[in-house]
Structure 1
Amino acid sequence: MEVSVNDNVKIYNLSKGDSIPEWVSSKRRRKLEKQHVGFRRSIRLIQDFEFPDVATTISLTPNGRYIIAAGVYKPMLRCFDVNELSLKFEHGLDAHALKVLPISEDYSKTIVLEEDRFMEIYSNGYRYYRFRLPKFNRDMAFCREASDLFVK
């Protein structure tokens, strides 16, 4: 990446520098990234990492491989694979998501807290269960040691 300064404005050239060919296997790619300083310092962008209007919540899975995000208009849930730099799956939601919480090491178990007092549980990217909460909530947290979900 090359940085130039014009009139106190930094300009970043993301396409400058060496790149690894797409046909190289992932094992060989990792080896090249370790050996070559230019590859280690390069910036790689995730394809389709956007929402039409706004992303309301973004969560990283505990293993650091997936990013799960929810956005509005139309309400949707998207999962991005950080290693493959691509969109893993996308689902439409019935209401805007307040919070997305991955409860497994990867994206296989995810809970979505929605604005309209509903909570959805996703398993392997598909909606497994949906239920209504007795009152409006704003946040949630998961205790892995006791397998408890706290909703407030």
Structure 2
Amino acid sequence: FPIASTRVKFSSDGKYMAATGVYQPQIRLFELAELSMKCSRHLDAEPVHFDFLSEDYKKLAILRADRVVELHAQFGVLHKVRVPKFGRHFSYHSASANLVVVGSSSEAWRIDLEQGRFMK
């Protein structure tokens, strides 16, 4: 990364690593068995948090500083969702395919990824 890397995570299968960086905001995916960069994706705003949604690199969620959650598939950006307030962290519940985002207020927002909408 030209300036700094902010977060690093490993996939649950242990074969891939992802890292986010700033200026230009981006995420880079690495394949550890080959010791190579799989891909680099530029973002519109600084990434605040990210996580793997699958065991490998093929599904990712990225929370950006501009209140947008980007959902990535193997081919690139699949969908973008804007949360009501600035988010700081999220957690993914794989059994229900829910993404729970928390942030700058006392509220939590639950996004059902199967239905593609906010839940109460």
Q: TM-score, normalised by structure 2?
A: 0.81
Asked if structure 2 preserves the Cα contact closer than 8 Å seen for 1:58 and 1:67, the reply is yes
Q: Paired residue for 2:25?
A: 75
Deviation at 1:125, TM superposition (A): 4.4
Write the distance in 2 (CA, Å) between the matches of 1:65 and 1:100.
17
Matched, 1:127 2:77: yes
- AA matched with 1:71: G
- AA matched with 1:109: K
Deviation at 1:147, TM superposition (A): 2.1
Asked if structure 2 preserves the Cα contact closer than 8 Å seen for 1:118 and 1:133, the reply is yes
Q: Paired residue for 1:85?
A: 35
Structure 1, unaligned runs of 5 or more:
1-50
Larger helix share, 1 or 2: 1
Seen in structure 2, the aligned counterparts of structure 1 residues 68 and 142 have a Cα distance that, compared at 3 Å, is same
Deviation at 1:145, TM superposition (A): 2.4
Q: Which runs of 4+ in 1 moved over 6 A?
A: none
- AA matched with 1:132: R
Larger strand share, 1 or 2: 2
Identity %: 34
Q: Paired residue for 1:103?
A: 53
Write the distance in 2 (CA, Å) between the matches of 1:57 and 1:83.
21
Q: Paired residue for 1:45?
A: none
Q: TM-score, normalised by structure 1?
A: 0.65
- AA matched with 1:141: S
Deviation at 1:55, TM superposition (A): 1.0
Q: If you compute each CA radius of gyration, which structure gives the higher value, 1 or 2? A: 1
